[in-house]
Amino acid sequence: MGEPASGLERPVLVGGTGRSGSTVVGHLLDHHRDLTLTRPMEVRFIAGNDGLADALAVALRKPGSPKAQAAAELAVDRLLNRWFERAPQVGLHQSMTREDVERWAHQYLVDMDRDPVAATRSLAGQIMDRIAERLGAQRLVDTTPANARKADRLEKIYPDSAVVVVTRDGRDVAASFVSQSFGPDDVFEALAQWEQRMLRTHEAVAASRPGRVLTIPLMDLVVSDRAGTLERLCAHLGVDVDPGMVEWFDANVTTGGAHPGRWRQDFDDETCGRIDATYAEACERLAAAGVTIPA
């Protein structure tokens, strides 16, 4: 038996379909004495589109190929030009210099042909270690939504990570996206995206190590089983229920804040009828594929 993995090798990866409650869970866990939310709270460069996890998947399918090299180069480009400094106060630049990341990324590209898993783990670890150092963190929590649908790919980078998937009624997810400045601005497009992400998450969970992923319906956490869901969450992560976390939870996580049924309030009756019918069809397809639909 080898040495148990350190806290930084056992990150908590929280995800969902987007607008499903992963941010709430991240803030909740940040109030546990043994857990620290990353800054930025969604690091993105690992699980985001064309990030390290996607590049590693290509490298493992087509080792040493031009496609693998192109995917790695694209991941580095995204890292340096999209995720390094997203805003003056949001980005990896708060914890490290661009020169450091450029040096680590160069070595990553050199090593990808020889050992893509080790190269990816090294680059991810160097960046995340700097974030942890700045925050004084022993175990990090990241809330990049794609952690859910990339859970299987992330396992190759962090074998000892724990994943928490937060699910929510797709009609509320779609309505929430439409009200934001990002994501789909059409409710039916947002519903289609929800269905696609729910299916991909189901596939990723099935391909992951048994017991590594815990799925939490947002309404269980917020409304129907608050204490029980909190206990299951902490047990999954191997930590005690922290009094400070409970205090924050009781003060800040409310039924009203979760906006259950908001889709009925945001659209006219005719549109609501179409949303409900479209959602029912999506749920039928997902259920046929074995996906559990959140209440």
Residue 165 in domain: yes
Q: What pLDDT is stored for residue 257 in this prediction?
A: 78
Residue whose tokens read 């400045």: 181
Q: What pLDDT is stored for residue 3 in this prediction?
A: 55
Residue 6 in domain: yes
Query: Does one domain contain both 192 and 275?
Result: yes
Kindly report, residue by residue over 232-290, the tens digit of the pLDDT: 999 999 999 999 999 999 999 988 877 788 899 999 999 999 999 999 999 999 999 99
CB of 51 closer than 8 Å to CB of 45: yes
Beta bridge partner(s), residue 13 = 142, 163
Q: Helices 52-61 and 66-78 meet at what angle, rounded to 10? A: 170
Query: Does one domain contain both 177 and 269?
Result: yes
Residue 10 in domain: yes
Of 94, 113, 138, at which residue does a domain stop? 138
Residue 239 in domain: no
Query: Does one domain contain both 178 and 294?
Result: yes
For residue 107 the two structure tokens come to 């070595």
Query: Does one domain contain both 59 and 118?
Result: yes
Whole-prediction pTM: 0.96
Residues 6+ apart with CB under 8 A from 156: 53, 56, 60, 117, 120
Query: Does one domain contain both 98 and 47?
Result: yes
CB of 205 closer than 8 Å to CB of 196: no
Residue 192 in domain: yes
Q: What pLDDT is stored for residue 4 in this prediction?
A: 62
**Domain range for 86:** 36-138
The Cα–Cα gap between 26 and 36 comes to 9
Q: What pLDDT is stored for residue 1 in this prediction?
A: 41
Rounded to whole angstroms, what are the CA distances from 214 to 35, 72, 89, 127, 139? 17, 30, 32, 26, 18
Closest alpha carbon to 36 in 76, 95, 77, 82: 95
Q: What pLDDT is stored for residue 61 in this prediction?
A: 97
Query: Does one domain contain both 108 and 189?
Result: no
- Peptide bond before 210: cis, by omega within 30 degrees of 0? no
Q: What pLDDT is stored for residue 253 in this prediction?
A: 93
Cβ count near 249 (within 10 Å): 21
Which ranges of the chain have pLDDT less than 50?
A: 1
Cα 140 to chain center, whole Å? 13
Residue 30 in domain: no
Of 95, 116, 138, at which residue does a domain stop? 138
Query: Does one domain contain both 188 and 217?
Result: yes
Q: What pLDDT is stored for residue 46 in this prediction?
A: 98
Backbone CA torsion sign across 221, 225, 226, 231 = negative
Of 104, 138, 172, at which residue does a domain stop? 138
Query: Does one domain contain both 119 and 190?
Result: no
Query: Does one domain contain both 164 and 88?
Result: no
Residue 212 in domain: yes
Beta strand segments in the chain, E = 12-16, 36-37, 140-142, 162-167, 213-217
Beta bridge partner(s), residue 36 = 140
- Counting the structural domains of the chain, the total is 2
211: alpha, beta or left, given left = phi > 0 and alpha = psi -120 to 50? left
Query: Does one domain contain both 159 and 271?
Result: yes
Residue 290 in domain: yes
CATH number at residue 149: 3.40.50
Query: Does one domain contain both 146 and 93?
Result: no
Query: Does one domain contain both 55 and 196?
Result: no
For residue 206 the two structure tokens come to 């099935």
